[in-house]
């Protein structure tokens, strides 16, 4: 089979093999131009269901659909040549049964050509993870704070402070690792627990609001870029402040339009002489 024109993409197996070598760099991506900018610097790009909140203004991720995930997965795949691209399974697309999970995961892989899918859940999802991975679908796990379960867990808060909570997260991470996931996100979990789990399980842990000791880190790219002035969780660092820059640029544009100084002659098409 010819490989002409194909760029070697980072695979889920390569991500798994990075445990203990160097930290894994991950960010979310939802569009082609952003994927192109992030791709050279990232090992993994996640088309997260966080797009419901970031792009569509939803209060939670629960309203995100398969169609939305596929459309944005396709967009990111057009822009990513190097990074491993993973697409979230949205709420309601995999919890009913392992067969439902396979149908929807297979649809995402077929329609986007992404490298794998991510799902939330621990012990209760281990059988599903095993079912998917044994049938050729790479799975990225997600334990700790799980945004799709925010309606039953009392909102967005850090977890693992009680021994009961900590033990549940330990068991969840172990179950997902043993079920065959290639990596697992640990979100919103107290630092010592995230550090402990990272040392205890065989697959890479990707932290968000967890620990620098995790095998990698992930942030929502829009948070990292400072696109939201009114929202900055404790675990987010703004590596840029794009929101005020965009606001200032828009103000300048509006002033020039009102003053009729834009478009200038050089921005228009003139008759040929």
Mark whether 266 is an active-site residue.
no
**Whole-angstrom Cα distance, residue 24 to residue 12?**
12
Instruction: Write down the pLDDT at residue 3.
Output: 42
Instruction: Write down the pLDDT at residue 58.
Output: 94
Coil, helix or strand for 27? strand
Instruction: Write down the pLDDT at residue 1.
Output: 39
Catalytic residue among 178, 187, 241, 266: 187
49 is in an annotated binding site: yes
206-237: pLDDT as tens digits: 999 999 999 999 999 999 999 987 767 778 89
Instruction: Write down the pLDDT at residue 84.
Output: 98
272 is in an annotated binding site: no
Coil, helix or strand for 39? helix
Contact (Cβ atoms closer than 8 angstroms) between residue 42 and residue 33: no
Residues of the chain with confidence (pLDDT) below 50: 1-5
118 is in an annotated binding site: yes
Which residues are within 8 A (CB) of 115 and not within 5 positions of it... i.e. 6 or more apart?
A: 9, 10, 11, 12, 84, 85, 86, 138
Instruction: Write down the pLDDT at residue 151.
Output: 56
Task: Show the domains of the chain with their CATH numbers.
Answer: 12-241 (3.20.20.60)
Instruction: Write down the pLDDT at residue 75.
Output: 98
Instruction: Write down the pLDDT at residue 148.
Output: 78
Instruction: Write down the pLDDT at residue 4.
Output: 43
Instruction: Write down the pLDDT at residue 156.
Output: 58
Strand partners, 86: 46, 116
258 is in an annotated binding site: no
Instruction: Write down the pLDDT at residue 149.
Output: 73
Instruction: Write down the pLDDT at residue 2.
Output: 41
Contact (Cβ atoms closer than 8 angstroms) between residue 211 and residue 225: no
273 is in an annotated binding site: no
**Whole-angstrom Cα distance, residue 27 to residue 123?**
26
């Amino acid at each position: 089979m010819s490989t002409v024109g194909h760029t070697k993409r980072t695979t889920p197996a390569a991500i798994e093999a990075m445990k203990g070598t160097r930290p894994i760099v991950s960010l979310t991506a939802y569009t082609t131009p952003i994927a192109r900018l992030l791709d050279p610097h990232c090992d993994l790009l996640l088309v997260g269901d966080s797009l419901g909140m970031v792009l569509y203004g939803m209060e939670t991720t629960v309203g995100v659909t398969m169609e939305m995930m596929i459309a944005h997965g396709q967009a990111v795949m057009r822009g990513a040549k190097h990074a491993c691209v993973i697409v979230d399974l949205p709420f309601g697309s995999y919890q009913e049964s392992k067969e439902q999970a396979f149908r929807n995961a297979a649809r995402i892989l077929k329609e986007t050509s992404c490298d794998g899918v991510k799902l939330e859940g621990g012990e209760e999802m281990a059988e599903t993870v095993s079912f998917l991975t044994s049938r050729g679908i790479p799975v990225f796990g997600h334990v700790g704070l799980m945004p799709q379960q925010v309606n039953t867990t009392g909102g967005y808060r850090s977890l693992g402070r009680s021994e009961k909570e900590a033990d549940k997260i330990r068991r969840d991470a172990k179950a997902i690792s043993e079920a065959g996931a290639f990596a697992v996100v640990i979100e919103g979990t107290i630092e010592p627990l995230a550090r402990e789990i990272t040392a205890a399980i065989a697959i890479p842990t990707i932290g968000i609001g967890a620990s620098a000791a995790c095998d990698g880190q992930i942030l929502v790219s829009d948070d990292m870029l400072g696109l939201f002035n009114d929202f900055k969780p404790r675990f987010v660092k703004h590596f840029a402040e794009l929101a005020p820059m965009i606001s200032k640029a828009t103000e300048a544009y509006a002033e020039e339009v009102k003053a009729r100084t834009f478009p200038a002659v050089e921005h228009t098409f003139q008759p040929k002489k």
